[in-house]
Each structure stands twice: as C-alpha cells, then as structure tokens.
Amino acid sequence: MTRVLVIDDEPQIVRALVINLKARHYEVDAAHDGATALELAAGRHPDVIVLDLGLPDMDGVDVIKGLRGWTRVPILVLSARHSSDEKVEALDAGADDYVTKPFGMDELLARLRAAVRRAEPVPGGTDDVIVETPGFTVDLAAKKVVRGGKDVRLTPTEWHLLEVLVRNTGRLVSQKQLLQEVWGPSYGTETNYLRVYMAQLRRKLEADPAHPRHFITEPGMGYRFER
C-alpha cells in the first residue's frame, strides 16, 4: 500500500486530504509543522510527501532541503503563493511538483499518482528483485524471506535493515549509512541498535549465527551482505 505524508497547518485542508486519500486506499500520516514532518518522514518512510510551504515553525524550502539531504522520495508542494519565484525556489530545492491553492482534488490526486508512478522501480529492470543464497531467499518486491521452504517472520526494522544490506550486496555499508537509512538522518552514532538487529537477522537467517557467512562484520567500518 502506498504511504503518503501530508504536511499542512490548516486542519481543514489536512482533513480533506486525509479523507480523500484514505478513500482511495492510501495509508496516510499527517504533520502540522516542519519538525514533526521531518521526524515522521524518517520514521515512517512515506512513498510520497504532500507539503504545504506555509508552516508555523520553519520555512517550507528548508523542509525540502532537510528531506533531500537523505531521501529521494517524491515531494509535492502545496502553496497559496502563485509567484514564479516561489515555485522556482521550491522546485530547485528538490520538490517534484508545485500546486497552487485553491487546488482541484482530482488534479492533486492525479499529480500524486504521477509522482508515485515514476518513482516506482522499472519493472523487469536490471536490478534483481529476488536474491538467493545457499541458505535462504530474499524477495525485495514481495518483502518476503524464505528459508528451508518456510517464510521467515521479520519485524519492520529487521526487514528494513536487511533491505539496505541486500540492495548493496557485496558492498560494504558503513554503520552510519545503515543507521541513517533505517532509523533516520539523526541516528548516526547509535551503533548498539545495529548490533542488536544484526544479531537478530543472523539468528533468523544464518545457519550458524555465531559464525555468519552472509552478514559479515567489518570491524570499525560497517557490515557487508554476501550471497
């Protein structure tokens, strides 16, 4: 299911958006200010963001920049200002689209669909959706892991960590990068999280968790997933 993050300080607009989105089977989170928005974006990993530029606590463009520092998630800007400069500034800061208020709900939804659509990975592209190892199989599209013919239950965080590692199969991923991709941009140093969750992944997926063959530790640097 597609997850949308709506950021606006006007309750009636948020309500209208939430109702319309939920009716079309989107999963919706909402924030009323920039700080909450950045937090939610990091924690919930939305597939698309609808952002009102006029927020109470910070400049909308700064919100865009804050997001673009670590994610390429589509950002659809909503604004009451029609001036060309505003649009150019927001778009160049990293926004994907710019809609002026008052807006037609149909149009907004169509633009949302367009933004989500083009962010989708190429179907049948070069990147493998299924990664096999001698011990288990990871299906990135179906978000499923099979080991010995049986599905392995992973928690959201475990899956997220696995996903980042598998997408970088063979490459070393630094601890900082893992933390920021999974827990959000402000978590650069909490390496104990990594240790706990790497242990859980190994316990669930490695034949011998004490001597991992696929989830390899590079001391002082990071971790590496090998098939």
Positions 51 through 80 that interact with a second copy (CB under 8 A): 72, 74
> Per CB under 8 A, which region of 3-11, 32-40, 100-108, 203-211 contacts a second copy?
100-108
Nearest approach in angstroms of CB 224 to a second copy is 8
- Residue 84 interacts with, from a second copy, DNA, none (CB under 5-8 Å by kind): a second copy
Distance CA 118, CA 129 (A): 18
The token pair that represents 81 in the structure block: 């200002």
**Single-letter amino acid code for the residue at 154:** L
d(CA 215, CA 69) in angstroms, rounded, equals 28
The residue behind tokens 């659509």 is 117
The contact mask relative to DNA for 185-204 (x = CB under 7 A, - = no) is -----xxxxxxx-xx--xx-
Give the nearer residue to a second copy in terms of CB position, either 35 or 45: 45
Interface residue with a second copy, options 11, 43, 69, 156 (CB under 8 A): 156
- Identify which range of 46-54, 166-174, 180-188, 198-206 contacts a second copy by CB under 8 A: 166-174
- Give bridge partners of residue 206 from the DSSP assignment: none
47 vs 56: CA distance, rounded Å: 24
Please provide the DSSP assignment of 190-203 as one string: -HHHHHHHHHHHHH
* Partner from a second copy, DNA, none binding residue 195, C-beta < 5-8 Å depending on class: DNA
Does residue 153 bind DNA (CB under 7 A)?
yes
User: Residue 77 burial (CB < 10 Å; 0-12/13-18/19+)?
Assistant: buried
Contact between 54 and DNA per CB under 7 A: no
Binding of residue 225 to DNA (CB under 7 A): no
Comparison of 32 and 111: residue with beta carbon closer to a second copy: 111
Residue 75: phi and psi, rounded to 5, are: -120, 120
Options 155, 172, 226, 227; binder of DNA; rule CB under 7 A: 155
CA distances from 131 to 138, 142, 165 (A): 5, 12, 11
List all residues 6 or more positions away from 146 whose beta carbon is below 8 Å from its beta carbon.
136, 137, 139, 152
Termini Cα distance of the chain: 29
Residue 66's binding partner out of DNA, a second copy, none, with CB under 5 to 8 Å set by partner kind: none
Q: Footprint of a second copy on this chain (CB under 8 A)? A: 72, 74, 84-85, 87-88, 91-92, 94-98, 104, 106-107, 109-111, 113-114, 117-119, 122, 141-144, 153, 155-156, 159, 170-172, 218-221, 224
